[in-house]
Amino acid sequence: MKSVKYRIGKWLPSDRDFLNSWIENKIRLTKDNSLPLDPTIDDLAKAIFTDPILYMSFTSMYDEIPQGFNEPVKNYDTMLLIMNQILTEAPCYSVVEDQMGLIGFPINAILDWAMGTSGGYLAFTNPFVNEKLRAILNKWKTFLESSASKYVLVDGPIAQKQPDYTNPIGWFSPKALEAIAAMDPLRGQGKSPKEAKANFIYNYKCEPSKPYFGYKSWDNFFTREFNPGVREVSPNDSDSDVIVNACESAPYNCVTNAKMKDKFWMKGQPYSVLDIMADNPLASEFGDGCTVYQAFLCAKTYHRWNSPVDGTIKGIKNIPGTYYAESPVEGYDPAGPNDSQGYIAEIATRALIFIQSDNAKIGLMCFVAIGMAEVSSCEITVKVGQKVKKGDPIGTFHFGGSTHCLIFRPGVNIEFDFHNQTPSLNTHNIPVKARIGKVA
């Protein structure tokens, strides 16, 4: 089964047969390696086995997958073994992924069909399960932040690990650099080089003369910063009425009638502002009729957040939430996790940054960083009371990108600039710090 929209953000392949082949190879690798269970995996395994509700949920999620869907993972035991294998692996690039798509969400990939079942819905919205998953993902995050993960930051074939990929190559190989350069919306414009390696060196802080381009780990590479001057707020956008893009991201949705409390699990996935803000005290300064702009990040691009306005940080909060819950109305659609971006804004692990704009016409607004699947380490780098200028750094996702929202109070009238496209699942990146709107 193929689906163009399944490649939203390029986190998972559009070719279902290719994805199944990857999972089947991963199962064989897992059985051959016979790694001891990591304590975090063993903890989840014991929790599932000893809790009758969890056992029913994790067992039924695989039983409920309809015949003909060709799911390689047949039970939760196999699921846990593959997750255990992934904890000591860093995502690499494969010579076929420029056609098929990056497997940047390996755990999401093995839960793909199971997430759409009623058993999956019960399991992955369970706070106790998400607590266990958080421990597992934190363990993987620790590996990705270590020097042991930089073996994929090379030019050429990857000799060690991951024979389940088709001809795995390092991220500084020509094909991988070309895939990164292809996501640059300013490639070939002005001083930005067209050639892929030169484009990377021009855009990002790195030391190409050193091993691994000077990066200390996979996470260090993935949270890389732009070089000074590469992404700056245009003098034409310095006007306090202008709102700039908080992330290098593609517009997904924009509504001007969001309610404070709504049925976000219904078809259409309305935004429920109070739920997004997790009943934060500052939510009381918002109300029915908010404007919500949402955009998604790509796997191969910049993953840091920048302030969309000039102002003062009034509140910050990290909110633990779900990791693999998708909207129940999406069913078995392979694009379900992508089409659930509105839904997960209310329930996924996320970070809130409230900014009091210096422009009274904007007033208090909220930036929301939303983790999707493995991408759920939201690091806030500003403090309450701190003054920020438009374009200043305010935080970052670890291991990749995800989706984010900008929420404005009722009565804030914004003329949005989507850069000649309509918000949807098939848009392209707008540069970070570029104009996305102007308040009237």
- Kindly state the percentage of the chain with pLDDT values over 90: 56
Residue 96 confidence (pLDDT): 57
The reported pTM is 0.88
DSSP summary character for residue 125 = T
Residue 290: strand pairing partners: 258
Residue 238 confidence (pLDDT): 92
pLDDT (average), residues 23-51: 88
Question: What is the rounded distance in angstroms from the CA atom of residue 210 to the CA atom of residue 181?
Answer: 21
Torsion, Cα 411 417 422 426, to 10 degrees, reads -120
The alpha helices in 125-217, defined as continuous H runs, are 127-144, 174-181, 196-203
- Tokens matching residue 167: 């001809």
Q: Is 62 helix (H, G, I), strand (E, B) or coil?
A: helix
Residue 165 confidence (pLDDT): 57
**Quick check: 367 and 355 in contact, CB under 8 A?**
yes
Residue 170 has pLDDT above 80, yes or no: yes
Q: Give residue 269's pLDDT band: very low, low, confident or very high (50, 70, 90).
A: low
Of 10-19, 127-136, 188-197, 428-437, the least confident: 10-19
Q: For residue 431, which phi and psi values (nearest 5 degrees)? A: -55, 145
pLDDT digits (tens, 9 = 90+) for 293-318: 999 888 788 999 999 999 999 999 99
Q: Give residue 131's pLDDT band: very low, low, confident or very high (50, 70, 90).
A: very high
The alpha helices in 186-270, defined as continuous H runs, are 196-203, 218-222
pLDDT digits (tens, 9 = 90+) for 98-110: 443 444 567 777 7
**Bigger pLDDT: 105 or 418?**
418
Q: Which residues of 247-276 are buried (b: 16+ CB within 10 A; e: fewer)?
A: bbbbbbbbbeebbbebebbeeebbbbbbbb
Residue 394 confidence (pLDDT): 98
Residue 101 confidence (pLDDT): 43
The crossing angle, in degrees rounded to 10, of helices 52-63 and 39-50 is 100
Q: Give residue 265's pLDDT band: very low, low, confident or very high (50, 70, 90).
A: very low
Residue 8 has pLDDT above 50, yes or no: no
In the predicted model, what is the mean pLDDT of the chain? 85
pLDDT (average), residues 32-50: 92
**Bigger pLDDT: 121 or 405?**
405
Residue 327 confidence (pLDDT): 66
Q: Give residue 3's pLDDT band: very low, low, confident or very high (50, 70, 90).
A: very low
Q: Cα(first)–Cα(last) distance of the chain, in Å?
A: 46
Residue 355: strand pairing partners: 313, 365
279 contacts: CB under 8 Å, gap ≥ 6: none
Residue 343 confidence (pLDDT): 77
Helix count (H) and strand count (E) of the chain? 14, 15
pLDDT (average), residues 40-65: 93
Question: What is the rounded distance in angstroms from the CA atom of residue 409 to the CA atom of residue 411?
Answer: 6
Residue 9 confidence (pLDDT): 43
pLDDT (average), residues 122-131: 91
81 contacts: CB under 8 Å, gap ≥ 6: 27, 30, 31
Residue 93 confidence (pLDDT): 81
Residue 166 confidence (pLDDT): 60
pLDDT digits (tens, 9 = 90+) for 316-352: 999 988 888 776 655 544 444 556 667 788 888 899 9
**Bigger pLDDT: 17 or 100?**
17
pLDDT (average), residues 96-121: 67
Question: What is the rounded distance in angstroms from the CA atom of residue 21 to the CA atom of residue 95?
Answer: 15
Residue 292 has pLDDT above 60, yes or no: yes
Domain residue limits, the chain: 1-222, 235-439
DSSP summary character for residue 260 = S
Q: What own/partner pairs with CB < 8 Å and gap ≥ 24 does 53-61 have?
A: 53/122, 54/123, 54/126, 54/128, 54/129, 56/119, 57/119, 57/120, 57/122, 57/123, 57/126, 58/119, 58/123, 59/119, 60/117, 60/118, 60/119, 61/114, 61/117, 61/119, 61/120, 61/123
- Tokens matching residue 270: 């309305």
Residue 64 confidence (pLDDT): 81
Residue 199 confidence (pLDDT): 98
Q: Which residues of 125-143 are buried (b: 16+ CB within 10 A; e: fewer)?
A: bbeebbebbbebbebbbeb
